[in-house]
Amino acid sequence: MSSFWKNLTKGIVKSNPTFILMLGLCPTLAVSTSLDNAVGMTAAFVVVLVLSNIIVSAIRNYVPDRVRIPVFIVIIATLVSVVDLMMQGFMPALSKSLGIYIPLIVVNCIILGRAEAFARRNGILDSIADGLGIGIGFGVAIFLISFIRELLGTGKLELFGFKLFSIPGLDQNPAAIFLFPMGAFLVIGLLLALFRQLGVSKYE
């Protein structure tokens, strides 16, 4: 198995950023209320993470250890601002639906975590693979959480305006608690336990 493929797949289950590394839980709690949010956040997140990994990997031999964290933070903050401005300028429709998630990415510590733990020690190609894998892993996690929260919290599932299905009865009297932070903690906690019980937490 090539290292590119290995680095890509490890982020999805074995070192899933949300359930195994337990990074970036704060923005995950905040946006995982609907499938739309999950898809939007994942798309914006993957772009920024891959770009950040590429840049950090490219300059890894020149960054002095003592100032690496501030350097990474400046890079990530700049990237997020550039992506935000570009989307507002050139893709206003997309920016309208994703716009609120972009600034949230800057506080997502997964990106800094990958710069620190992976990109500054590995080549560009492997760093791209890592960014994609971790991005997909984040997407899988937030999609699962959103799926449960939207289904129980509203009694139905929708994706970009299309009604997927609804549970008769529950859609009239949904368990709105799942849309609140309390419900987010419950769902994340149970999924975490499930992931660990399934024995996928071999990552040390």
Partner 1 sequence: MRKSEAYPVLFLTFVVLVAVVVLTLTNSITRDKIALAKKQAVAEMLSALFPNMDSFTYDDKTGTYTILADKTTIGYAFTAEGRGYGGPIDILIGLKPDNKTLQGIRIISQQETPGLGAKIVEASFLDQFSGISVDQVKLARNGGKIDAITGATISSTAVVKGVRNAIEQRLGKGGTG
Which positions lie near partner 1, rule CB under 8 A? 33-34, 37, 62-64, 66-67, 70-71, 74-75, 77-78, 81-82, 85-86, 88-90, 92, 95-96, 100, 150, 153-154, 174, 176, 179-180
In single-letter form, the type of residue at position 127 comes to: S
Nearer to partner 1, 16 or 33 (CB): 33
| Spatial contact of 200 and 9, defined as CB atoms under 8 Å apart | no
Nearer to partner 1, 96 or 196 (CB): 96
| Spatial contact of 134 and 11, defined as CB atoms under 8 Å apart | yes
- Smallest gap from residue 169 Cβ to partner 1 (A): 15
d(CA 123, CA 38): 30
Nearer to partner 1, 62 or 162 (CB): 62
- Smallest gap from residue 160 Cβ to partner 1 (A): 14
Nearer to partner 1, 1 or 165 (CB): 165
Q: Is 7 helix (H, G, I), strand (E, B) or coil?
A: helix
Give the pair of three-digit tokens for residue 185: 């903690």
How would DSSP label each residue in 150-203? HHHHHSEEEETTEEEEE-TTTTTS--GGGGSHHHHHHHHHHHHHHHHHTT----
Specify the DSSP element, H or E, that contains 124. Answer: helix 124-154
- Smallest gap from residue 136 Cβ to partner 1 (A): 24
- Smallest gap from residue 60 Cβ to partner 1 (A): 12
- Smallest gap from residue 63 Cβ to partner 1 (A): 7
DSSP 2: -
Nearer to partner 1, 112 or 129 (CB): 112
